[in-house]
Structure 1
Amino acid sequence: MPEQIVNKFHVAPVWLNRDYVEKKLRVYFKDAKLELEQLQIQPATANGENYASVMTRINVEYKDKDLVHHNATFLVKTTFADKDPAAHLLEPYGIYVREINMYEEVLPKLAEILRQEMGDPRKLFAATINVDRERDSIMFEDMSLKKYYVADRIKQLDRQQTQLVLEKLAVFHALAALLNEKQPGIFAKKYDRCFFNQHTRGYQPIMQNMVKALIRSLEDDEELHQRYAGKLKGVVEHIMEYCERAMETKKNDFVTLCHGDLWTTNMMFKNNDHGKPDNVLFIDFQFSVWSSPAIDLQYFFHTSLQDDICHTEMVHFYHQKLVQALNKLKFKGRIPTLFDFQQQYQSRAFYAIFAGFCFLPSMLHSGKEEFSIARAMSHSKIDADFRAKLYKTEIMRSKLKKFLPKFDHKGLLDDM
């Protein structure tokens, strides 16, 4: 797909021009006489915040049918250009079609249930201006204009932010469970693959390369290397198999639509007048999957929480909110007890290995040198050295000193 260069790390498709934007705004505002006067294009995310798509912010000036001038800002999400290695890797996962399906078919229904049956006026996600299936693109309202913000991915989330996310996540999961109850099978076929599934292992080179980089990074710490290097070699061999196993659902599991990629930059907070967060929106539904909500918790806890937050306590908090939401929605299915759900959570524990060892290092990367899916897949020595450096930062080494013994004590580093 042809591109227009926005900056060194960001490209936008050439079709994202004045004529295209004007046509979409005319439809959205139901104004055939709307005239686009100016269009500015700039990156919407910083380096290191998005690896599966291109986010572009467009600033527009337009004149409506009454000749009134307006300024507005929107976000446009597009796929990687076809020549990017990420496009080849991501295509079998169907992430672009899945997210378009979410915004056209699922999220509006969830929003309606939220308003009508829960009476909650707060948003769960941004409104959609346009969905373009031909170009695999989505145009959103820019929630930053309504004072929504993305939290600092390096500092991660504090207790208050975490509980707000879990409250809204429980509602999201409950809404999806009810929608599936009303329309049985709506999710089973279209939402059957996340990072791990029975259809493709496209992410395998990345997962294995990252764990190998972790092993290399421990070479300058004799104690850690001696204790964990041998076990981590087994993780390299089995990571895809064990994570696929964690995705499997059992007969009595509570199952719903999961976000699938729930970490700091895939949510936006809004503060109240006292500077405290009182709402959070979820964004980026490319990896949404029909599975146990425990995978969302494992992934979220091991990529986005500050170190002093107790995971077991947060599982309890989430469960309380889930039960409240399901009861309010008059869900007729089986509602898991806390004991049942704690077991469900623990049975997905290996998902934390992938989140904490494979994705977290790039999520916490703040250097000037760009990290990308292509660099994660590469076999070159330069890229292998770069991956190992990701684990040697002060913040990542601190995480490893916490995660390694924790995972080892749970038996997650042993053959299973």
Structure 2
Amino acid sequence: MSTQQEQLDYIERHLLQELLKFFGPGVSLKGHRVESANGLDGFMSALFTVHLDLTIGDRKRTEVVLVKFMKGTEEFREQSNSYIQFRNEVFAYAEILPAYENLLRMSNLSSEMVANWVPRCYFAKFGKVDGLGGGQESVLALKHLKGDGYQLGPRLTLRRDQLEAMVGLVGPFHAIGYATRILQPEVYARLKSGVVDMSFVSSSGKAGFDVSYRVAFDRFYEFYDRRKEQLLGDSDAGFAAAIERLRVKYFANPTHLLERIRTTSLSEDQPDNHFVTLLHGDYNRNNVLFHHSDNGQVDGIKTIDFQELRLSTTAIDLSFFMYMNTPSEGREEIFADLLNRYHKHMIEMLEQLLHANRDKLSDERVEQLLADYSFERFESHFKRYAFYGVMVVMHFMPCILGNETDCAELTRLFDTDMHGQAFYRLSLDIGGDVANEEVFKAVRHAYEHGYMDDI
């Protein structure tokens, strides 16, 4: 386990040289400074900002780099799945995104699309890192985006242009994953094999997912039982039965439902498993940065944090994004619009890639593939797995709706004593009934749209 001082030393003694290699010959380092980033930004990471004063010929240039390491004790890293998450994130930057860029280039399409989705990556390594302890470590150096005008969106509710920008990114991202499997099966197999499987169910029953979703279900059913008479109307018998069915099947082990959603779609006997590909896994407003034009509208978006990268149904990415980022008021209309927009962006990208590779595919094959990914088939598939997003809301929404002091304390307790009573108690209380009501609205929405039918 590397300490903060060891990480600082690594930056000074090793990483600066790696960064200079990225910028190429003729670039010299005239000065630099390193700052430690504190606060909520580094939930599972140790973050540093490195300011580089470079000279290229007779020109001076400043580059700002965000450096990300694993943090915490070995026990914390094991319980929080850090070893898996950081390895997968490095793999995303080092292998998956470059493979997607290559497919676009070979298809005579602009590979800049992928580069425009993420920060520039200067250096990515996982495993034994010279100069950084003796065990498994992770180093990721990315362009710091704030200097280019990128910023996080609102803490609570995104505007429509921000929501639309998010589906405009993730739809094509999924489409390139589908196209890689279709057009470059050997590349896809290599990428698939390089992603370390991250189960929601642990052998110990004490890992991060176990802790988080135990609290989430305890909290939801305490609120539901306490407020049932006010929450349910005379016509809610079916809804009440669905909530009880969820309790009977999964209250003892909430993570088993997450794992069922994650793995069922992977089965070869599923008729719609062509909707499986490589996912972002944590596609939420805290993991995207927006750039705005002079009139305040979004004209650029980049996503960060691929630590929850998974191979599963794209309904996981989409339902997570939709439930966590749409307001409960007006969700009906917004959901329908975003689902259509997502599919439009996805199918347009897929169609471009398939038509650009007509030498590999017959006209009949292209027509069949596009039919496989039709909106009707996608919508039916999404319905089967969309409750995943509600599960995330149960766990994460209370913290979002809590004040920043409580969120900071919850983060500290998760780092230091996730099994302690203080963490459990604050997890139950943060955000209060305002958060509980938002969670309940998400569950009701899911029921009304048939997303609880297969539970």
State the TM bucket, normalised to the shorter chain: 0.7 to 0.9
CA contact (8 A) 1:301 1:311 kept: yes
1:16-415 → structure 2 map (5 Å cutoff): 16-31=10-25, 34-43=28-37, 46-47=39-40, 49-62=41-54, 64=55, 66=57, 69-83=60-74, 85=76, 87-91=77-81, 94-114=84-104, 117-119=108-110, 121-122=112-113, 123-133=116-126, 134=129, 135-154=137-156, 156-181=157-182, 182=184, 183-191=187-195, 193-194=197-198, 196=200, 202=207, 203-216=209-222, 221=227, 223=229, 233-234=247-248, 235-247=250-262, 248-249=264-265, 250-253=270-273, 254-307=275-328, 308-309=330-331, 310-330=334-354, 332=366, 334-335=369-370, 336-369=373-406, 370=408, 371-372=410-411, 374-375=413-414, 378-392=418-432, 394=434, 396-409=435-448
> What secondary structure, in the 3-state scheme, does the structure 1 residue paired with 2:189 have?
coil
Q: Deviations over 1:269-301 (max 9, x none)?
A: 112232210221121112222221111111111
* One-letter amino acid matched to 1:385: R
Distance 1:54 1:92 in 2: 12
CA contact (8 A) 1:303 1:360 kept: yes
Distance 1:415 1:103 in 2: 35
TM-score (normalizing by structure 1): 0.84
Distance 1:354 1:345 in 2: 15
Distance 1:92 1:282 in 2: 20
Q: Please report how far the alpha carbon of residue 137 of structure 1 lies from its aligned counterpart in structure 2 after TM superposition.
A: 0.9
Q: Please report how far the alpha carbon of residue 403 of structure 1 lies from its aligned counterpart in structure 2 after TM superposition.
A: 2.0
Distance 2:225 2:432 in 1: 11
* One-letter amino acid matched to 1:35: L
Distance 2:231 2:92 in 1: 44
> What secondary structure, in the 3-state scheme, does the structure 2 residue paired with 1:204 have?
helix
* One-letter amino acid matched to 1:74: V
Question: Which 10-residue stretch deviates more, 321-330 or 29-38?
Answer: 29-38
Distance 2:419 2:231 in 1: 23
* One-letter amino acid matched to 2:369: R
> What secondary structure, in the 3-state scheme, does the structure 2 residue paired with 1:139 have?
strand
CA contact (8 A) 2:215 2:428 kept: no
* One-letter amino acid matched to 2:53: E
CA contact (8 A) 1:173 1:258 kept: yes
Question: Which 10-residue stretch deviates more, 227-236 or 24-33?
Answer: 227-236
Distance 1:281 1:354 in 2: 25
**Count of aligned positions:** 404
Distance 1:412 1:373, change over 3 A: farther
CA contact (8 A) 1:178 1:329 kept: yes
Q: Please report how far the alpha carbon of residue 197 of structure 1 lies from its aligned counterpart in structure 2 after TM superposition.
A: 6.9
Distance 2:454 2:181 in 1: 36
- Show structure 1 runs of 5+ residues with no match: 6-11
CA contact (8 A) 2:96 2:191 kept: no
Question: Which 10-residue stretch deviates more, 110-119 or 290-299?
Answer: 110-119
CA contact (8 A) 1:111 1:124 kept: no
Q: Deviations over 1:202-245 (max 9, x none)?
A: 32222112321334456764636897996675443242222222
Distance 1:322 1:159 in 2: 19
Q: Aligned Cα RMSD in Å?
A: 3.3
CA contact (8 A) 1:26 1:32 kept: no
* One-letter amino acid matched to 1:179: T
Distance 1:178 1:298 in 2: 22
Q: Please report how far the alpha carbon of residue 127 of structure 1 lies from its aligned counterpart in structure 2 after TM superposition.
A: 1.0
Distance 2:231 2:245 in 1: 10
Q: Deviations over 1:100-150 (max 9, x none)?
A: 111111112223444664337441111111123323111011122221111
Distance 1:186 1:198 in 2: 26
Q: Please report how far the alpha carbon of residue 169 of structure 1 lies from its aligned counterpart in structure 2 after TM superposition.
A: 0.8
CA contact (8 A) 2:272 2:381 kept: no
> What secondary structure, in the 3-state scheme, does the structure 1 residue paired with 2:299 have?
strand
Q: Please report how far the alpha carbon of residue 65 of structure 1 lies from its aligned counterpart in structure 2 after TM superposition.
A: 6.8
Distance 1:199 1:334, change over 3 A: farther
CA contact (8 A) 2:403 2:431 kept: no
> What secondary structure, in the 3-state scheme, does the structure 2 residue paired with 1:131 have?
strand
CA contact (8 A) 1:38 1:61 kept: yes
Distance 2:83 2:74 in 1: 17
> What secondary structure, in the 3-state scheme, does the structure 2 residue paired with 1:189 have?
helix
* One-letter amino acid matched to 1:193: D
CA contact (8 A) 1:163 1:317 kept: yes
Q: Deviations over 1:168-226 (max 9, x none)?
A: 11111111222223124133333363563799973222211232133445676463689
Which structure has more helix as a fraction of its residues? 2
Aligned-residue identity in percent: 17
Distance 1:415 1:282, change over 3 A: closer
> What secondary structure, in the 3-state scheme, does the structure 2 residue paired with 1:40 have?
strand
Distance 1:178 1:108, change over 3 A: same
Distance 2:143 2:255 in 1: 37
Residue matched to 1:8: none
* One-letter amino acid matched to 2:51: N
